[in-house]
Every structure is written in C-alpha cells, then in structure tokens.
Structure 1
Amino acid sequence: MKFLYRASSLLLALCLPVVAAQVQAVRSDTVGKVLETPAMAVPQLESAVFIELARAGDRLVAVGERGLIALSDDQGESWRQASVPVSVSLTAVQFIDADHGWAVGHGGVVLATQDGGEHWQVRLTGIEAARLELDAARAAQPGATDTRAADLRVQLAERLLAEGPDKPFLALHFSDAGHGLVVGAFGLAFRTEDGGHSWRSAVGQIENPYGMHIYAIAREGHTWYLGGEQGFLARADNGRDFRQLESPYEGTYFTLQARAGGGLLLAGMKGHAFVSSDRGESFAPLASRAGASFSDSIALPGGDALLSNQAGMLFRLTAAGHLAPFAQPLRRPVSGLTQAPDGGLVFAGFTGLFRLAPNDITASE
C-alpha cells in the first residue's frame, strides 16, 4: 500500500486542474465516510491484503486494507479479526508491550489500543491533523527568519485543510507509552506526549523543504532517523530537530533499521541497500543481487537483521555487515514481516498472511 500510494499521487499530479479538483472532491467525501465506518467482517481473513505486522507480547497483530486488523495467539497459525472503528487502509502498527499499541493509515488516521489489539479507538484523523498544522504554521510565521518558506508552509497547510483527509500516515514510532511520532505523505509529521490523546505538528521540526513522503522511522537511544522518497534521509539527536543527511541514493527508502554502536541500515527501491557505522555520516552499499524493492526489515537476536522484498526474497545482514540470501524465496510478495515468539517468521502481503515455522527455516537454509 505504501508503494501504491506513491504511484497514485504521481498520477493525480499529472491530471488537468479541473479533473484533479473533481477527483479530489470525490476522494475527500469517500475518505470522510470510511473514517466513520467500522471495518467489515471478512470471512477469509488470512487471504485479505495485509501490509504490516507487530508483536504484542506473545500475540501477533497484522494491519491491512479497509481497516482490517488481525490477531494471532498461536504463532501465526490462525487469525481472528479485531474490532476497528474505521475502514481506511492501515499502513503501520507498533506495540510497546503486550497491551499498548498504535496503528496509522490512510485518511490521516491514528488508532490506539490498551487491550492488546482487541479493541481500537481513533486518536487522530486527517481533518484534525490539517487544523493542527495550519495553527502551527500560522504561529511560526511572525518570527520566521525565512519569510518565504513560512508563507509557503501556511499556504500548504491551508490547502491541506481544504482538500480534506486524503493524506495517509505511513510510519510511526513510540519510545514509551506516552511519546510518539507519526509521519507520512508530503512530509506530514505529528507528535504526542500523552499516548495519542493530544497531538502537535512536528512539520517545522523536520528539514524537508520539498515535502517528501516519509516512509520509515528508526531509533537507537536518543538518535532518531527518518527515510523517504527521492533519497530523503534525516537524523535528530534529540528526536525533535531533524536535519537532512547526505544520502547515498536518490531513490526511495522504504525501511530503516538503527543498529547498535551508531549503525544504520537503509533499504528501498530496486534492491538498493546501504549500511553506516557512523550514524549516517557515510555509507557503504550492500550487494543484494536482486532488483525488487526492499519492503521491510526487522532486527534479529544477536545483532543481525532480516530484510524482505516485493518478490518474496529474504536477506540476512550479519552484525559484521555481510548481506546474503536467507532461506528459499517465498514466491509471494512481502509487504511486512515479524518474528513469532517461537522463532518462526510471519509475513504480510497482497496475498494475505503466511508463516515459516522454525523447522522450515532451518531446512530451507
């Protein structure tokens, strides 16, 4: 869904102004309705489109299209559907413990749960987000040193409010039960310090003058990283003032992994991947021998990382910085992955949810 959003936004930008306005009106009205419509029950849940996965203690939680959230308490062998108050597609999910989690998605929605994903509540929508950004842009305008940039930010915020809740959030990261950051299309970014009950715009805290889509967040200690389209890469040593880093690649990054000792893994379009050992000051390319775009990555015990791509191939990055194919190709597109409590791997994608048991992984290797 992250990839589809980028393609659809580029297509809309090529439309004639009148046609684009008509399409925008229809989209805004449609998004407004699905933000108020609970997700429908799906009979063949495991075969639906899912985008990302997370661990909630020993439970697995998957999010996907039309507000689908699925729960598994048996290592990903079987799934059941959770109660969700919206039917917009959900793009990312995170839990900080077995009970407290958040999910983000289209329509600028942020959802929260306090019972391990059984029930979810809306904490933010694109309508509220646009108002928050407009208020923040206007407040920053009088004292801005770059008046042109400040004026442009206000204009963009006004347009954001006028267009309605059609901009998705694409990534999130909570450092604890209270503090979190959500980011998404056109550089949108919002911060909470009370678990999502209230929000503030963080657009002005990120050096992103061209409003690039932000697809990924990573954190190691007090150091935060953001990655996105056209090589966008930024770092904040306090989690608030993000400054752009010189990127080793001009294509889009879809996944980041912050590693111990100042390490950073970047991966994205057309199989491009890079590692840094100095907090993003310099990078070394990784040869994946695959042209499909990387879609997700997870940290493994012992300091290794596992990457997946859209072609269903897996790659293992060792702590020493060596990237090599891992297991046999899945032959199914992968959008997200996580490791189950028993050591198995569970995947989400356009063909549904599926699992590799520990024995299958060992045999495949």
Structure 2
Amino acid sequence: MLPIIKKAGVVASLLLIASTQAGTALAFDNPINIPAAQSKIGATSALLGSAVAGTRIVAVGLRGMIIYSDDAGASWTQARVPVGSDLVAVNFPSPKLGWAVGHGGVVLHSRDGGATWVKQLDGVQAAELALRQFQGSGAPEAAMLVEREKNLQAGGGTQPFLDVYFESETTGFVVGTFNRLFRTTDGGKTWTPWMDRTDNPGELHFYSIRGRAGSLYLTGEQGAVWRFDKASQRFVQAATPYKGTLFGLVVTDKDTVLAFGMRGSLYRSDDQGRSWEKASLGTPAGITGGVALAGGNVLLTTQAGAVNVSRDDGKTFQPVKTSRPMAYFGLAPLDDKRIVLVGAEGVRLESIQ
C-alpha cells in the first residue's frame, strides 16, 4: 500500500491513541513538529523518492527518513531532519541546494547537499498563506477558493505535498492534494499560492510536476495533465484519453511528454499534450517512476518490480534485468549507465545494459 500512501495523497497521520488508564488518552504530537528519529536501517526501510546532488545520492521515506551516500551506495548516513512526517519526493537543482516534501504539507530545504534540513513550510502555514492571498482578492474565483481553503483548514490544514520541482536554485514549485500548488522565486524564503492559476475546477489532486527547458507539466486524477501556458501564466488542461490516476511524467530531450500511472497506463505526446497516443509496457502493474537519461533513453519502474527502458523516445520499451527486484516507488539517474532505485525494501543501485 506504500504507493497509495505516496501517490494518492491519503493522509495516514500515524495517530496512535494510547491509554494509560481507562478513559485517558495520550496527547497527539503532530509529526510536522517532531524531529525524525535516528535509525540504523534507513537504507533497507521503505523509501519513496530519490535524487542525485552532484555525486551524492539522497533518498527520502517514511517518518522523516532522509539518507545520503557519498560512495555510490556502499554506505549511508542519516540526515538531520526537523520533522517526522512521511516524505515522498526530493529534488536538487544543484549539488548543494535541495528540497523535499511530504505529508503534513511539509517543505524541507537543505543547503549542504542533503546532510541537514530545515522546514520552510508546513500545511498549517500553507493554509494561512492561501487565505491571506485570496481573501479580499478581486479575482472571479477568489470567493470559491477562500471557501474551499476554509473547509480544508477545518479538517486540520495539513494537506500533503506530493511532489517538488525546481527550475533553478531560486524558482520552484510544490504540488499536492486538492489543487495545492505553491511557487517560490527566492529559494523558498517565501511561497505564493498558485491555486488560482490552474484549470482545475474540480480540485483534482496533483501527483507530479516536471519540466525541461522552460516547459512545465502537472499530472493528476482522472487522466488529467496540465501544461503551463506562458502567455496566460496558467496551467491549462492537456488531458489524456485515460480516466484513471496519473502518478507522474517524463519530459524527454526531444520535448516528448510521457504520462504514466495506474494499471500500467502510459500515454505519449510529441505536441506538448495537445494529442496523445497510448504506449505500453505490457504489464497491468502501476507505473510508479520515470526518468529521462542524459543519453536520450527513458526509464520507467513499476510497483511489481520491473524496470523498463526505451531507446526510441518512449515509443517502445524493453525490460531491464535487475539484481534483486522489489516494488519500486521512484528512481534517479546516477550517470548514463547507473540508476538509483528506491522502494519497499530501501535503496539500490543498478546498471543499465
């Protein structure tokens, strides 16, 4: 069920109600306010996202786990993390500067390649930012956005962020459930709600955000893809024929867009999402991760433990043999011949033949 924890945005808040005597319950400590506990088994625990920071590998997972390796995975060190929330995605636009996001609406930032982290934002703060942004706004949709935000705030105000993407060291986005979209242009010192810049009246969840060379795309529920339109400064719909959940996407060197998700669903567009054609991995397993390599190849991973490579810009895929398959939740390229895979049994490095 771990891909569901990550991708479907179901907030399993780890509420453990214990009683020391009849009728007396221990108070709940919100994980967004509790540092992650130290563990010796981080590299073999469930991990949900990975990235490469220069030559360093960084992986994130449950209960605030962040680990890193400077020797290609031979040894791992646990980072100092200020939250115990489940972390689901991590992104490094440069070797030193990185961001991670997860449940509780947390946004973490590192300035030392992932060794130490600080909290830049959480769900409570994000809800307050959204209300301040839209209350009193003259925008036509402002009243609706305020009402929706108050409803979310009443439910705890800690909607999860499910992905993060930085175009540069200063400009980036975090996205999540119920149309959550925030942007920063100062490296996360301040965040601006962008929920009014999406063609998403049904408040569908956003599961991923990716881009390349100025292009930017979102994926979400009901087969939805959104493309950022520079002229209108909005994310406009570029929907696929699919009606299920799309977990993520890949933008290749040739500007081809591949959107993937549940039940082996895979769609390909070479015209910025205006039209789509169905591609296939030949599996009903959910496709949980994807990446474009520097050499032009595309890799996709599945919940069933498969790794597949395309050498023709995503038109066809062939299986890649791995040493010890597991349920994969994400991947990152270490170089053009090796990849970092994270999943149910931790983190592994594999060679691509």
Q: TM-score, normalised by structure 1?
A: 0.87
Aligned to 2:306: 313
Aligned to 1:272: 265
Aligned to 1:90: 87
CA contact (8 A) 1:2 1:170 kept: no
SS in 2 for 1:291: coil
Where do 1:170-249 residues align within 5 Å?
170-238=162-230, 240-249=233-242
Aligned to 2:21: none
Deviation digits for residues 96-127 of structure 1, max 9, x if unmatched? 11100000011110000110111101100101
Equivalent of 1:291, from 281, 284, 287?
Answer: 284
Counterpart CA distance in 1 for 2:6 and 2:67 is: 22
Note the C-alpha offset of 1:152. Answer: 2.6
Equivalent of 2:316, from 304, 314, 323?
Answer: 323
SS in 2 for 1:187: coil
Where do 1:40-119 residues align within 5 Å?
40-119=37-116
Counterpart CA distance in 2 for 1:35 and 1:111 is: 11
Counterpart CA distance in 1 for 2:135 and 2:156 is: 19
Q: Cα distance 1:202–1:275, how it changes in 2: closer, same or farther (>3 A)? A: same
Amino acid at match of 2:44: S
1:126 aligns with 2:123: yes
Q: Cα distance 1:59–1:153, how it changes in 2: closer, same or farther (>3 A)? A: same
Q: Cα distance 1:11–1:171, how it changes in 2: closer, same or farther (>3 A)? A: closer
Equivalent of 1:263, from 239, 244, 256?
Answer: 256
CA contact (8 A) 2:264 2:281 kept: yes
SS in 2 for 1:117: coil
Note the C-alpha offset of 1:56. Answer: 0.1
SS in 1 for 2:174: strand
Note the C-alpha offset of 1:297. Answer: 0.5
Counterpart CA distance in 2 for 1:268 and 1:342 is: 25
Equivalent of 2:329, from 309, 313, 335?
Answer: 335
CA contact (8 A) 1:76 1:340 kept: no
Q: Cα distance 1:5–1:139, how it changes in 2: closer, same or farther (>3 A)? A: farther
Q: Cα distance 1:143–1:75, how it changes in 2: closer, same or farther (>3 A)? A: closer
Note the C-alpha offset of 1:324. Answer: 2.1
Aligned to 2:159: 167
CA contact (8 A) 2:332 2:341 kept: yes
Amino acid at match of 2:343: G
Note the C-alpha offset of 1:343. Answer: 2.9
Aligned to 1:24: none
Note the C-alpha offset of 1:6. Answer: 6.2
Amino acid at match of 1:287: S
Counterpart CA distance in 2 for 1:10 and 1:122 is: 19
SS in 2 for 1:85: coil
Alpha-carbon RMSD across the aligned residues, in angstroms, is: 2.2
Unpaired stretches in structure 1, ≥5 consecutive residues: 13-28
Moved more, 151-160 or 89-98: 151-160
Note the C-alpha offset of 1:34. Answer: 1.2
CA contact (8 A) 2:298 2:313 kept: no
CA contact (8 A) 1:51 1:63 kept: yes
CA contact (8 A) 1:75 1:341 kept: no
Note the C-alpha offset of 1:237. Answer: 3.0
Equivalent of 2:132, from 119, 132, 135?
Answer: 135
SS in 2 for 1:155: helix
Q: Name the structure where helix makes up a greater proportion of residues.
A: 1
Q: Cα distance 1:208–1:108, how it changes in 2: closer, same or farther (>3 A)? A: same
SS in 2 for 1:171: strand
Note the C-alpha offset of 1:10. Answer: 10
Counterpart CA distance in 1 for 2:200 and 2:297 is: 31
Amino acid at match of 2:223: G
Moved more, 255-264 or 307-316: 255-264
Counterpart CA distance in 2 for 1:35 and 1:11 is: 13
Q: Cα distance 1:254–1:7, how it changes in 2: closer, same or farther (>3 A)? A: closer
Deviation digits for residues 7-58 of structure 1, max 9, x if unmatched? 684999xxxxxxxxxxxxxxxx84x621111110112221211101000000
CA contact (8 A) 1:37 1:86 kept: yes
Q: Cα distance 1:283–1:40, how it changes in 2: closer, same or farther (>3 A)? A: same
Deviation digits for residues 116-168 of structure 1, max 9, x if unmatched? 1111011001011001111222233x341xxxx54332111112222224311
Aligned to 2:23: none
Moved more, 1-10 or 63-72: 1-10
Amino acid at match of 1:192: T
Deviation digits for residues 315-359 of structure 1, max 9, x if unmatched? 112234432233226531000112224832221112211222x3x
CA contact (8 A) 2:210 2:217 kept: yes
Deviation digits for residues 197-230 of structure 1, max 9, x if unmatched? 1111010011111111111112122221100111
Residue-pair matches, total: 337
CA contact (8 A) 2:178 2:204 kept: yes
